Amino acid sequence: MSGSGSGPDPGSESASSGVAESRETTPDLSRRRDAGLAAVAATGLLGTAWWLRGSLTGALAAVSYPPAVVLGVCGALLLELGFARFPDLATRLWADRRVRVVGTGAVAVGVPALAVEVAGEDARLATWLLSSAAGGLLGYVALLAAFVGGLLPSPETWFADG
């Protein structure tokens, strides 16, 4: 996501040699950071699934229930559409480290903890939780790859006039 327009241009030399806050808003650094956060969340999901199922094969089955994965992908797309519609709000929120930590923690720790809690009583619900979260990450990473690869324009431009 790009900054709100105040301060140096994120692509300029002064921004790249300036303060950390200016550097953090550059699209390349932001997308790398976001990919790293997604990897942390995915590790938490897969690790929990592995622990619950006792094997990598079981873990992959626990995070790949198709209807739940589709639900997660759709959720990621809807969330990204909301961010694209209100880019200033999205930029302000995502610039706050607390939002990034809580968001990543919810997927990396919160969903797995809830899945562990319900797994003994309802393994199917645990699978739905893990698979929908994994689908959300899959959808997000696919969008991120499409932005970085130039297949899709940056979300900030989706609802722009002109």
User: What are the tens digits of pLDDT across the range 22-45?
Assistant: 344 566 678 888 888 888 888 888
Whole-model pTM above 0.85?
no
Q: Rounded CA gap, 11 and 26, in Å?
A: 7
Q: What is the pLDDT of residue 137?
A: 92
Q: What is the pLDDT of residue 6?
A: 37
Assigned domain for 7 exists: no
Q: What is the pLDDT of residue 15?
A: 38
Q: Which residues contact 158 (CB under 8 A, 6 or more apart)?
A: 81, 84, 85
Contact 69, 137 (CB under 8 A): no
Assigned domain for 128 exists: yes
Q: What is the pLDDT of residue 55?
A: 80
Assigned domain for 5 exists: no
Q: What is the pLDDT of residue 119?
A: 86
Q: Rounded CA gap, 130 and 122, in Å?
A: 13
Q: Rounded CA gap, 45 and 146, in Å?
A: 23
Collect the ranges in the chain with pLDDT lower than 50: 1-24
Give the tokens for residue 152.
């899709």
Assigned domain for 13 exists: no
Assigned domain for 2 exists: no
Block residue for tokens 């105040």: 6
Assigned domain for 126 exists: yes
Assigned domain for 11 exists: no
What total number of domains does the chain contain?
1
Domain holding 53, by residue range, is 19-157
Assigned domain for 6 exists: no
**Identity of the amino acid at 157:** T
Q: What is the pLDDT of residue 23?
A: 40
